[in-house]
Amino acid sequence: MPRIHPTATVDGSVRLADDVVIGPYCVVEADVEIGPGTELLSHVVVRRFTTLGEGNRVDPFCVFGGLPQDLHFDPATETHLRIGDHNVFRESVTISRATKPGGATVVGSHTYWMVNSHAGHDTTIEDRAVLVNCVAIGGHATVHQRAILSGNSHVHQFVWIGEMAITQGLTGVAMHVPPYTMVANISNLIGLNRVGLQRAPDITEEDRRQIKEAYRATYRSGRTPAEALAEMDRWTDMTPAAAKFREFVRKVIHAEGRYKRGLCAPRDKRRH
């Protein structure tokens, strides 16, 4: 049987795995599902249309599935927040549900959210991403797997943060960040995430060499992004890791609508 503290308020329709723990003064609304091994420590609010998978740990004062911070959103619209497995949410994390009918804000698995971090409506936070204290992610943004957003970093709406990218503290990101790179200040790309690439157990020496070549083609050759992409398309036998950099560039070049934001670049080499 789930362990529910007597001071908690849990709607009778909530679907709970047998070993879920719901601590003091938590509130769990209707249309919620919580998977095995998940624990809400205390004072956690899980709002309608939220799903939490297995083995999540949720510290006090987190709010999941809150209404989107969108002035045009109708609260009667059924939208969702879907959270995967084995995530850690420290104190006061907030994640909004989506805006479009049937849509979902999505959090993967094995992510780590530090104090006061926030993800807005319609965002996607992929596996093993880390959000440090007071990170704020705008609506419709995507943070790809193993990215690290350092303290007080803010991500603009409709921005993509590439795999294993990292921001310095107090960074504002308003343009797309390629995989494996570092960003500081306001969308100022300052190089590759060399430490992350060196430490990643699945990144080989050949991967690192090819990623460096792709980075040079994009940022140090004098080419436009389209020209750099054409050059990379002529390369043969790209490793899957290096190909992720190339395909991210391609996606940015062909982005449409509000996603057409261009690549982050050094301040003196801004390109769109």
Tens of pLDDT, residues 187-210: 999 999 999 999 999 999 999 999
pLDDT at 267 over 90: no
**Is there a domain that residue 260 lies in?**
yes
d(CA 170, CA 178): 19
Say whether 65 is catalytic.
no
Tens of pLDDT, residues 68-97: 999 999 999 999 999 999 999 999 999 999
**Is there a domain that residue 133 lies in?**
yes
Percent of the chain past pLDDT 70, that is, above it, reads 98
Say whether 122 is catalytic.
yes
Q: Are residues 24 and 106 in the same domain?
A: yes
Say whether 121 is catalytic.
yes
The model's confidence at residue 34, banded by pLDDT at 50, 70 and 90, is very high
Tens of pLDDT, residues 113-126: 999 999 999 999 99
- Token duo for residue 235: 């390369």
pLDDT at 271: 46
Q: Are residues 130 and 237 in the same domain?
A: no
The model's confidence at residue 144, banded by pLDDT at 50, 70 and 90, is very high
The model's confidence at residue 63, banded by pLDDT at 50, 70 and 90, is very high
- Tokens 């303290």 belong to 151
**Is there a domain that residue 222 lies in?**
yes
**Is there a domain that residue 48 lies in?**
yes
Q: Of 59, 85, 122, 207, which residue is the catalytic one? A: 122
- Token duo for residue 111: 């992510």
Q: Are residues 14 and 136 in the same domain?
A: yes
pLDDT at 270: 52
Do residues 80 and 56 make contact, with C-beta atoms less than 8 angstroms apart? no
- For range 4-22, the mean pLDDT: 98
Question: Of 106, 140, 174, which residue sits at a domain end?
Answer: 140
- Token duo for residue 231: 């050059």
Question: Of 96, 115, 140, which residue sits at a domain end?
Answer: 140
Do residues 110 and 85 make contact, with C-beta atoms less than 8 angstroms apart? yes
pLDDT at 272: 44
Shortest CA distance to 69 belongs to which of 131, 139, 163?
139
pLDDT at 269: 60
Q: Are residues 93 and 219 in the same domain?
A: no
Question: Of 94, 109, 140, which residue sits at a domain end?
Answer: 140
Q: Of 23, 84, 118, 121, which residue is the catalytic one? A: 121
Q: Are residues 21 and 120 in the same domain?
A: yes
Q: Are residues 239 and 125 in the same domain?
A: no
Domain of 14 in residue numbering reads as 3-140
Q: Of 23, 35, 108, 139, which residue is the catalytic one? A: 139
CATH of the domain at 60: 2.160.10.10
pLDDT at 139 over 50: yes
Which residues does 67 contact at the CB level (< 8 Å), separation at least 6?
Answer: 47, 73, 75, 96, 97
Tens of pLDDT, residues 213-245: 999 999 999 999 999 999 999 999 999 999 999
**Is there a domain that residue 153 lies in?**
no
Tens of pLDDT, residues 36-61: 999 999 999 999 999 999 999 999 99
Q: Are residues 123 and 212 in the same domain?
A: no
**Domain tally for the chain?**
2
Mean pLDDT across the chain: 97
